[in-house]
Structure 1
Amino acid sequence: MNIWLLAAMLALMIFLLVVFLRGILAPLARLIKAARHIAVGDLAERVNESPGDAPEMRMTLGAFNQMAVNLEALLASLADQRRAIDNAALVTEFDLAGIITYANEKFCALTGYRAKDLLGHPHSIINSNEHPHEFFAKLWYTISTGQVWNGEIAIRTRQGKLRWMATAITPVLDVPGKPIKFVAIRFDVTEQRLAKQALRQSHNELEQKVVERTRELEAANSRMAMLSNTDGLTGIANRRRFDEVLTNEWQRAARSRQSLALVMIDVDLFKNYNDHYGHQTGDDCLRKIAEILQTNSRRSSDLAARYGGEEFVMIATDTDAANALQRAEMVRASVEALELPHARSPFERVTISVGVAAMVPDNKHQPEQLIHKADSALYSAKNQGRNRVEISLHSAEDSLASVPNALSTG
């Protein structure tokens, strides 16, 4: 009796265990079936819940179905993003060896390659040879360490055309953070680059034109300044330049307490010369005399100028009366040595009369005082027979002293 009772109880327990296991295993089987469908891409698959399922199992199946919904939505969003990127950019994927594993239609269209011509080949198939080895070495180091690389890369199409790509290469990382593949997104910036180059070239050309124009203007200004300070007939300084230099040198000499000398020159009987030989010959005569004055103005601070008509002046800085007199005599003798015929002169040749003055400028006097002294000395030379040098001595009485001239004939 006891044995039969024990057997009955055991049978009941086995029955109940089978019923329990069926309640557990049935939803698990449905769960496994749904997971397999989702794994092969059937994202719409869901686990059907049964009223006989245990509450805990219904919660598990519900969570699985929600996860499937979220996964489907996420993958749909990623697909939309992929389409958007594929429509906007040139996309390739490549493995750790640089072998192309994916190329979208835009990339194929631009490069001229079909997808099957690219897949399984390294990126060197589009190498432009525009970049040095170090360029790619740095690029590979960046992406192989899990970092994003950004820059411009030149590629060569199947037809041999050069195209410039603004490129971002992003590593796809595994759980430990190591790259398992790379995604390259490119935008064709060839036209923008060419436009920038053209703009840069135009800018450089414009800068060059500005530089050239500036030089031309500077040269023109320099010529204008020179012309404004140069006597048009003789090529030496004009009256304007003389006045400017005399003022500056007077002030400088006053500061340094140095002597400043002025030599005034007049061509003897030049009106008679012009009337007899003509203005063209008269102009040639003035040019020859100007050349002699220029030759005798050796120092950069000295100045020879045409004062007006047949009158000339020489400024000699840091020069006392004795040295000024010596230079004036050299000029007079040089003009006489030209032996230019002058039929209406008692000397029968062109000669000059010269007045010399030298002063140490101070605050009590002005440059006009020096001009007055030299002009008075010149007047004295004229009155004493011409073809001679007279000097004005700086004294309290402002007297004039005549200097004997052995070469003088008047």
Structure 2
Amino acid sequence: MTSDAGVRRDLQHLRELLDHNSDWAWEVDAQGRYTYCSRMVTALLGHPPEAMLGRTPFEFMPPAEAARVGEAFAAIIAERRAFSGLVNRNLHADGRIVVLETSGVPFFDSAGDLRGYRGIDRDISELGERVLQLEAVYDHAAVPMSTVDTAGILVMGNRAMAALCEHDGPVAGLRLTDLLPEAAQWLDADLALARDGQPLPTHEFAWRTRWLYAAPHALHDALGRVAGLSIAWMDITARRQAEQLLTEANRRLEGYARQDYVTGLYNRRDLDERLALEIGRARRDGSPLSLCMADVDYFKAYNDGAGHLAGDDCLRTIAGALRRAVSRPGDAVSRYGGEEFVVVLAGTDEAGAAHVAERLRACVEALDLAHPSSPLGRVTVSVGVVTCRPQRDPVAADDAAAVAGLLRLADHALYAAKHAGRNRVATEPLPTTLPV
């Protein structure tokens, strides 16, 4: 009897502790129905404990709040996990709103099946309404936001975040890298930086068919330890697409800046830069470098007789023939100016350059374009050729001077071809000093 009396005293003592504790203690079954309530529920909600039994917490909440909290609690039950800090609005028996903070732990039977939850509710009405308002602002913010703990689990995530991740339902409790696998590339590194007190970088990354931007910030607990990261997100797909379009437009503009608008060939600017690069390469590897300068014979007379539009058409046709006459991808055909064209032949010696020059001349002649003002009766070109080996030959050290010198020699060879009767090729031997 003494033992039974002691047990009864202990149980009575426990009931008194629960009933007079400032927190309301409760137990619900696996369906969320109250099976026990301490008497503190009367002080909090105005209902006696027996009025709560068999009913669910959601029956004592406004309808919208019941739906919101019910959705959150369903996710908790599905994972059979403990929870804390679940803030919710409840209806007091007199009709006023009471804001509670709910925490609970699951309990199981011997077979491991979920029997229900045990927990407590605490009245936080003085601050709770403000917390709920802040949560509502957070949840309905247009900017996707989330909070992850040090294990990478989403503690919070608003609706915009769920929409960004194309996830149906709340994201809290999920692993961030399960929603966005690409975040694994930087999440652990950012947490390490946060622990070291270092600033955190922003991130841009491709995800599915879109581009996302993430701006993380370190979160600290009351002791100053890193508790996780707060991350603001943004869909920057439109911006990246605009940047790509701008890059492509700039690339095209750069191409136009190096392109002759009449013939579509490279222009004088590109020729000077390309020739400087080829001279530098030839200096390094000791290879030969050749130029062919072609000029349309009697072109002024052609222009005067046929008109400038016909003259432009003629130049375009000749440009096409010159392009077809060179076979290697690296051979570059440029419009030097007026009716003159230059072909840069990298790694080409005298014999090879003379062969290409003759092919250029023959391809234009084969066009068989009528030229009534020419003694030959058709459009032809004269071609001057020069070849140098910068490691051996007297090429100026200055790039601009070297370019000008080679072009001057090619022009001399072109003059020789014209002086010899036109529609022919002439080669200019290198002098002791290149002209500038």
Are 2:62 and 1:109 aligned?
A: yes
Aligned-pair CA distance for 1:192:
4.2
Partner residue in 2 for 1:6 = none
Partners in 2 of 1:245 and 1:77 — Cα distance?
87
Q: 2:319 is matched with which residue: 284, 290, 293?
A: 290
- Give the alignment's TM-score, normalised by structure 2: 0.56
Q: Are residues 1:331 and 2:360 paired? A: yes
- Aligned equivalents of 2:350 and 2:370: distance in 1? 32
1:369: Cα distance to partner?
A: 2.7
Query: What amino acid does structure 1 have at the position aligned with 2:117?
Result: F
Q: CA deviation at 1:111?
A: 6.6
Structure 1 spans left out of the alignment, 5+ residues: 1-31, 40-66, 83-90, 114-125, 143-147, 153-165, 174-178, 399-410
In structure 1, distance between residues paired with 2:344 and 2:120: 80
Aligned-residue offset at 1:108: 4.1
Mapping for residues 94-243 of structure 1, pairs under 5 Å: 94-95=28-29, 97-98=30-31, 100-101=33-34, 102=52, 103-104=56-57, 107-110=60-63, 138-139=79-80, 142=81, 148-149=82-83, 168-171=103-106, 182-183=117-118, 192-193=138-139, 195=141, 196-198=158-160, 201=164, 206-243=235-272
Contact 2:409 2:428 in 1 (8 A): yes
Contact 2:382 2:424 in 1 (8 A): yes
The Cα shift of 1:197 comes to 3.7
Secondary structure of 1:358 counterpart: strand
Does the aligned pair in 2 maintain the 1:355–1:381 contact within 8 Å? yes
- Aligned match of 1:119: none
Matched, 1:392 2:428: yes
**SS where residue 209 of structure 1 aligns?**
helix
Task: Output one character per residue of 1:230-265: Cα deviation in whole Å (capped at 9) or x when no partner.
Answer: 101111100000000000000001110000000001
The reply on whether 1:344 has 2:373 as its aligned counterpart is yes
Distance 1:150 1:298, change over 3 A: farther
Are 2:342 and 1:313 equivalent residues in the alignment? yes
The percentage of aligned residue pairs carrying the same residue is: 35
1:354 corresponds in structure 2 to: 383
1:92/1:100 contact within 8 Å kept: no
| Distance in 1 between residues matched to 2:102 and 2:421, nearest whole Å | 97
- 2:418 corresponds in structure 1 to 382
Larger radius of gyration between Structure 1 and Structure 2: 1
C-alpha distance in structure 2 between counterparts of 1:293 and 1:383, whole Å: 22
Pairs aligned (count): 284
2:351 corresponds to: 322
Rate the CA distance shift 1:221–1:92 in 2: closer, same or farther, 3 A.
farther
**1:92·1:107 contact (CA, 8 Å) conserved in 2?**
no
- The alignment partner of 2:236 has SS state of helix
Could you give the per-residue CA deviations for residues 75-130 of structure 1, whole angstroms, max 9, x where no partner exists?
4552xx44xxxxxxxx98413x44511534675433798xxxxxxxxxxxx68999
- The whole-number CA distance in structure 2 between the counterparts of 1:384 and 1:130 is 97
| Structure with more of its chain in strand, by fraction | 2
Distance 1:112 1:323, change over 3 A: closer
CA contact (8 A) 1:359 1:394 kept: yes
Cα deviation, residue 151, structure 1: 9.9
Please list the CA deviations of residues 151-202 of structure 1 after superposition, one character each: whole Å capped at 9, or x if unmatched: 99xxxxxxxxxxxxx98433589xxxxx996246899868744543436749
Query: What are the within-5 Å matches in structure 2 for residues 53-132 of structure 1?
Result: 75-78=19-22, 81-82=23-24, 93-95=27-29, 97-98=30-31, 100-101=33-34, 102=52, 103-104=56-57, 107-110=60-63
- Contact 2:383-2:413 at 8 Å conserved across structures: yes
What residue identity is the alignment partner of 2:409?
Answer: K
Contact kept in structure 1, 2:268 and 2:335, CA below 8 Å: yes
Q: 1:211 to 1:224 in 2, by over 3 A?
A: same
What is the aligned partner in structure 2 of residue 373 from structure 1? 409
**Deviation, structure 1 residue 210:** 1.5
Letter in 2 for 1:276: G
Of Structure 1 and Structure 2, which has the larger fraction of its residues in helix? Answer: 1
1:20-39 alignment, distance < 5 Å: none
